Amino acid sequence: MSEIITAAMVVIGDEILSGRTKDKNIGHLADMLTAVGIDLREVRVVPDDQEAIVEAVNGLRARNTYVFTTGGIGPTHDDITADAIAAAFGVPCGYEREAYRLLEEHFAKRGIEFSEARKRMARMPEGAAHIANPISVAPGFSIGNVYVMAGVPAIFQAMLDSVIPSLKTGAKLISVAIPSPLPEGTIGGPLGDIQTTHGETIIGSYPKYEDGRFWTEIVIRSRSEEALRAAKKAVEEMLETLLKRN
């Protein structure tokens, strides 16, 4: 079986935790990674606090193939992600020459002052590589297995588009959905037994309410078609048996 590639995400920003800003990046990242066979295993939301960012990034990068962060790379005083990532890797953070040049030229063409605040967007950990920003020029960056990107959804999505082709990918999960007229309370025990005996699969059940009726959707996921078929057969036989009893 192909190597399993995993990822985690750190969403950075007081505005997310306060509810002032609604995150739109988690779902997009999950969709993009799933499409190329990378498992998004964990998402953490942390405040604009260096210690919290360092702790989250170091913990997640140690146990995942990749870590993606969003937010905190703008021009304001609370945009501290570059400093926090540098601290996580134990390297200095300062103006990166090419990022500084790109931003200086960008603002000069627009007749806008390249202020000290705007210069902050050129700061990166030593040794970081650029992530292109085709929308507002200010680049994200990568260092080690950590990819640091903007929180603005349109910019995040554009940056991610440039990152995805460079990532190592794994075998894609395939899935099948089986409708059950029986509730989770009835199928829960037998479904757990099936999961135990079909270890190459991930089985979940999801309550549904449509057209005035309750039902349950059972979803089986696996990287093996053979394992998926075997688990599907077991679930269908379990449902048939239970329906005869009820």
pLDDT per residue as tens digits for the range 83-139: 999 999 999 999 999 999 999 999 999 999 999 999 999 999 999 999 999 999 999
- Set out the domains of the chain in order of their start, with CATH numbers: 5-166 (3.40.980.10), 174-245 (3.30.70.600)
Residue spans of alpha helices (H) in the chain: 14-18, 25-35, 50-63, 81-89, 97-109, 116-119, 153-163, 184-197, 225-245
Question: Whole-prediction pTM value?
Answer: 0.82
Q: Is 44 helix (H, G, I), strand (E, B) or coil?
A: strand
Residue-wise pLDDT for 91-107, tens only, equals 999 999 999 999 999 99
**pLDDT-based confidence at residue 140 (cuts at 50, 70, 90):** very high
**pLDDT-based confidence at residue 2 (cuts at 50, 70, 90):** low
Residue 66's Cβ-count burial label (10 Å; 0-12, 13-18, 19+) is buried
Do the beta carbons of residue 175 and residue 221 sit within 8 Å? yes
Residue 64: its H or E element = none
